Structure 1
C-alpha cells in the first residue's frame, strides 16, 4: 500500500513538475518585439480616381433641315480641319439663292431707272433712296441665301477623330440634329477631386511639392509612359462632397487615350518630419486606431492615435505619439491592456527597411 502511495505521489510530482516546466517555457517564449516611431522626411504616392477628357470635344449638329445626301467620313476616322463631313440636300437652298440673285438684278434695274428720272427732276431724290434701299435689301437676301446653302455642307472645325454617326444616308435631318461628335485627342485632360485638407497642403507647401508632374494609372493597371502637369484648379469647392477639382494635362501623341476613359492620377506627396509607424503595430476599435505603448515596469497601455496619411505597410501619425515612445510592434492581438510583457527592442530604421516604403 505504501509503495502504491509513493508511486502515485511520484507520478503526481512528475506531472506537476512537467506542467510547471511547460508554463515556464511558454512564458519564456512570450517575448515581444517593440520599436519607436520613426521621424523622417519621406514621400508617398496618393491615387485619385480621374476622368479623361479630350482637349476639344464637340457635337457636330445640322444647322439646316433636309435629307442627308452624303456622308464623307466613317466612325473612328481621323479628319483635318475644313474637311467635308456631311452634305444635306442643297436643292431648296440653291433655289432660294437663285431667287435672291434675281431680285438683286431687278432692284438694280429699278434703281437705274429711278436715278435717270431723278437726274431729270421727274421724281424726287427720296424715291431714288428708296430704290437704293430695295437693292441693299436684295443683296442682304443673297448673302443670307448663300449662308443657308453653306450650312448644307458640314465641315470639321479642327483636326480630330469622328465618333459614332447615328444618322444614315437619306435620313430626314431636323435643324439641330446630332450628326456625330469630334474629338481632338492630341492631348487630354485628366480631372480628379481633392479633399480640402489635401488641397491646403498642396497649396501651402509649394517648395516641398517640387514640380507639378503626376502619373496616370490606366484601367489595365499600367502607368502611362508620359507624365502630365497639374495646371488648373477650380475656383470653388463642391458643397456636397467638400472636394475641389484639379485638372492635369497629358500628351497623347500615339492617340492611346480617348475621351471618356477612366484612370487614376498618381501624385507624389512629400512629407517633412513625418512620424511613421508600421501598420501591423496598430489595431482598430469602432473606427478608432490604437497602439500599445510600453510604460514603466514593462507594462503596456493602449493609446488612441490619429492617422494623418496611409502608405503601403505604414501609417503617418497625426497625434498621440512621440518619437521617444516605445510601441508594441507585433502581437497586438495576443496581449491585454495593463499587461506586463517581456520584449526585445528593434531599431525603427531596421523595421522600416523591411517594409515596402523606406524612409529617406
Structure 2
C-alpha cells in the first residue's frame, strides 16, 4: 500500500479546508472586533459624562395634610314638643333667621281651651280664698266679744289656708297650659340658617318629630385626627414653648384645603383636643376654629388641614437618582477613587421630585442621572453639577 501518497492527499485536503474556514471566519472575527471596540468606546464616552451631585444639609418646611370633618359652631335639631297639625310655615329652606323668630305654627285650639280652663280655675280659687279670708275676719270679731269659741275661728283659718293652696295649684296649672300653648309656635333658638323642612302645611306631627335644623356657620370647627406619636411630639413642643415663655402652640395658625383642592382664604387656630384616644385606631382628634363670614363652608363639609412641619439637617435626594429593590431604596454614591458604590437609604417622605432623608453625610456625592448603565464598583469620570443645575435637569425631564 502506498502510504506516502495517501498522506499527501490528506494534507492537501486539510489545506483546502483550512483556507475555506479562514476565509469564512475572518470577517466574523473582524466584525466582532469592530462591534466590541465601538461598544467599549460608547460605554467609555457615556461613563465619562456621568453627572454627580454633592449633598448638603437643608432645613425645609414640609406641608402635611390631615383629612378633617367640618361642623358648624352651633347645630341644633328643631323638634316638635307637642302633637298637632302644621298650620303655618313662616320660613323657607336655606333662609337666614334671627333668634326667637317664628318658624312653624301648630294647631293651638286645644291648648287655648286648656289655658282658658286653667285661668277659670285660678279665678275660682282666688274667690274661695277671698271668701274664707272674710270669714276669718268676721269670726275674729265674734271671738273678741266672747260670742263664739276660738275653735270656730281656727277652723275658718284652716279653710282659708286650703283656699290659698288651691290658688297656688291653679297658678301652676295655668302656667303649664301657657307653656303647652307656647310650644305650638316653634321659634329659632339662635341666629342661623334653616335646613331642610320635611313636613309641609297640614302635616300631623307628634312630640319629638324633626321639623328642621338650625345651623350657625359664622364660624366652623374642623376636626382632624393625629397619631399618638404626633400627639406626643406636639405636646412636647408645647411644653418646651411654655417653659421658654414663647408663643403657645394653641396660637398656631393652620390652613384649610377645601374639597375642590383650593385653599381657604382664612386661617384657623388650634383650640383644643379630645380627652381620650380612639380605641382601635389609636388616634386623637384636634379641633381648629375657622371664621366663615362669607358662609362659604357648610355644616358637614369635608377638607384637609394643612400644617407646616419644619425638618432640619435633612438631605434632598432626587427621585430620579434612586431605584428600589424589594421595598428598599438605593442610590449610587461616588467614592474617593471615582468608583460607584450602591448604598441603601431610608426616605422620610416625598417632597415634590425629591425624597427627604437623613441617612447621608454632608459632602456625600451621588450619581444624578444614568444609573441604569452603572454597576457596583464601576469606575467613572464624574461631572459635578450644582443644585440649581440638578433641579433644572430634573424639572425639564418631567416635560
Relative to structure 1, the CA distance from residue 316 to residue 4 in structure 2 (aligned partners, 3 Å threshold; closer, same or farther) is closer
Pairwise CA distance, 1:284:
3.1
Provide the residue aligned with 1:42 in structure 2: 60
TM-score of the superposition, structure 2-length normalised? 0.79
Structure 2 distance, partners of 1:89, 1:139, is: 24
The residue number in structure 2 matching 1:51 is 69
What are the Cα deviations for residues 152-211 of structure 1, in whole angstroms up to 9, with x where unaligned?
111111111111001111111110100000111111112212223333333434579986
2:361 counterpart (322, 332, 348): 322
The match for 1:169 among 192, 195, 201 is 201
User: Which of 96, 101, 107 in structure 2 is aligned with 1:78?
Assistant: 96
Q: Are the structure 2 counterparts of residues 350 and 306 from structure 1 closer, same or farther at C-alpha, using a change threshold of 3 Å?
A: same
1:138 matched to 2:165: no
Going from structure 1 to structure 2, the CA distance change for 1:354 and 1:202 (only over 3 Å counts) comes to farther
Q: Does 1:97 align with 2:115?
A: yes
> What count of residue pairs does the alignment treat as equivalent?
355
For structure 1, the 5+ residue unaligned runs are: none
- Residues 101-152 of structure 1: CA deviation (Å, up to 9, x unaligned): 0110111111112222233144242222222111101001111111111111
TM-score in terms of structure 1 length: 0.87
Are the equivalent residues in 1 in contact too, given 2:368–2:390 (CA < 8 A)? no
Q: Is 1:287 matched up with 2:327?
A: yes
Instruction: Indicate which of 255, 265, 273 corresponds to 1:215.
Output: 255
Moved more, 42-51 or 267-276: 267-276
Which residue is 1:108 aligned to? 126
* Structure 2 alignment gaps of length 5 or more: 1-15, 140-151
SS in 2 for 1:38: coil
- Distance, in Å, in 2 between the alignment partners of 1:249 and 1:274 is 33
Of Structure 1 and Structure 2, which has the larger fraction of its residues in strand?
1
Q: CA deviation at 1:301?
A: 3.9
- Tell me the alpha carbon deviations over residues 276-299 of structure 1, each in whole angstroms, 9 at most, x when there is no partner: 322333333343333333346444
Larger mean CA deviation between 341-350 and 215-224 belongs to 341-350
Deviates more, 1:47-56 or 1:342-351: 342-351
Residue in structure 2 matching 1:346, options 381, 385, 396:
385
Q: Larger helix proportion, structure 1 or 2?
A: 2
Distance in 1, matches of 2:194 and 2:325, equals 55
- RMSD over aligned CA atoms reads 2.9
TM-superposed CA distance for 1:314, in Å, is 2.2
Partner SS for 2:346: strand
Report the CA distance between 1:218 and its aligned residue.
Answer: 1.7
Task: Please tell me whether Structure 1 or Structure 2 has the larger radius of gyration of its CA atoms.
Answer: 2
Is 1:26 the counterpart of 2:43? The answer is yes
